Amino acid sequence: MTASSPSDCWRAVTYGGIWCQERGSGLPAAELLFCDKCGRGFRLSCRLPIVARVAYGRWFCPSCTTNKEIKEFPSSQTKIIDFFGISRPINDLKPKKETTKRRRRAAPLALRKKRRKFLPFQPTEDAHRRLEQLASLATALTTVGAEFCNQLTYLPLGVAARSANRASLEPRRIQVLHKQDAETLNLCNEMIARGECPPLMVSFDEYEGFTVVADSFIKGMTLLAEYVGDVDYLSNREYDDGDSMMTLLLAADPSKSLVICPDKRANIARFINGINNYLESSRKRQNVKCLRYDVDGECRVLLVTLRGIAKGEKLYYDYNGDEHEYPTHHFV
């Protein structure tokens, strides 16, 4: 998520004033952020990274935050294994190549409805490069103060229990994950547990913040990651300042709606950027799809490539998905 004009974002704030000037025109206070330390202010769309609304409570600009400097995580096998809880030495792993089995057709091809299946991601064969990919993710997670987790977490004491995540609460039943796609999801999770990660690099950009880049060609319909984090009731997060909450369950009763909060526990999905789905030029950049599924009666959120993604291409997805719950007119 990035500002449309980062060079114009900072403006002086008159003492006692409630608004700043931007290109000679006044903006309403509801569209402005003011740093509680230096007093400077800028438009909501100029915050880096951007959020959809003004934060509640105290807020500090990028120049005044304590996490301004990024310390790169070492590409040490021992440290990587400890950080991600990998079960085996990475150098001993040889990613299995994708194999396809020919099946006997049960009916004429014209009578069969073709269904596009999810493909498992193909890990980089070079073990050292995989260490660098994992180190880039570890750098991003430690910088934002989060630990690695590759599944939804349900915490005690007043937040949503796992029993609250029931897909049947949706007024419109969400699609059920097909058995073959569920097997692909399990396979991807098993690979990640062994240190075979998606071919992705996380890097920091001055204007966009952390971004995710393809480290090799990725086929369309590839399952990249599940969006994970702490599960909580949406009502508990009404005044949350987090900029990466994701819809998990939209219940008919709003008090039972759930969100995923990756501020303390997350995986690489936390750093894939959103698009401005109000602009056609921005939508053309979208190459990843955010999908919610019913998996064994529970809601899950998966990120899947829309098309083939070239090496070096940044990943973007529609943060709203089909729900249109979040304003994205400030996004790229």
Structural domains present in the chain: 6-64 (3.30.40.10), 77-94+118-317 (2.170.270.10)
Question: CA 164, 169, 170 angle in degrees (round to 5)?
Answer: 125
Q: What is the pLDDT of residue 206?
A: 73
Is pLDDT of 246 > 80?
Answer: yes
Region 107-119 average pLDDT: 66
Q: What does pLDDT average to over the chain?
A: 78
- Calpha distance 189→317 (Å, rounded): 21
Confidence band for 274, pLDDT divided at 50, 70 and 90: confident
User: Which band of pLDDT confidence, cut at 50, 70 and 90, is reported for residue 156?
Assistant: confident
Over range 156-172, report the average pLDDT: 88
pLDDT band, very low/low/confident/very high, at 91 (cuts 50, 70, 90): low
pLDDT band at 11 (very low <50, low <70, confident <90, very high): very low
Q: Minimum mean pLDDT among 51-55, 85-89, 136-140, 183-187: which range?
A: 51-55
Q: What is the mean pLDDT of residues 207-211?
A: 82
In this predicted structure, what is the pLDDT of residue 216? 97
Question: Taking a C-beta distance cutoff of 8 angstroms, is the pair 80, 134 a contact?
Answer: yes
- Residue, of 30 and 18, whose pLDDT is higher: 30
Cβ atoms of 147 and 141 closer than 8 Å: yes
Q: Compute the CA torsion angle 302, 305, 306, 308 (nearest 10 deg).
A: -170
pLDDT of residue 208: 74
Most trustworthy range by pLDDT among 14-28, 41-55, 221-235, 239-253: 221-235
Predicted confidence band of residue 244 (pLDDT cuts 50, 70, 90) = confident
* Residue 89 pLDDT: 75
Two structure tokens written together for 253: 């009763």
Asked which of 138-147, 202-211, 271-280 is least confident by mean pLDDT, the reply is 271-280
Cis? peptide before 49, omega within 30° of 0: yes
Element at 273 (helix H, strand E): strand 273-274
Residue 23 pLDDT > 70:
no
Residue 267's SS3 state is: coil
CB atoms inside a 10 Å sphere around CB 172? 7
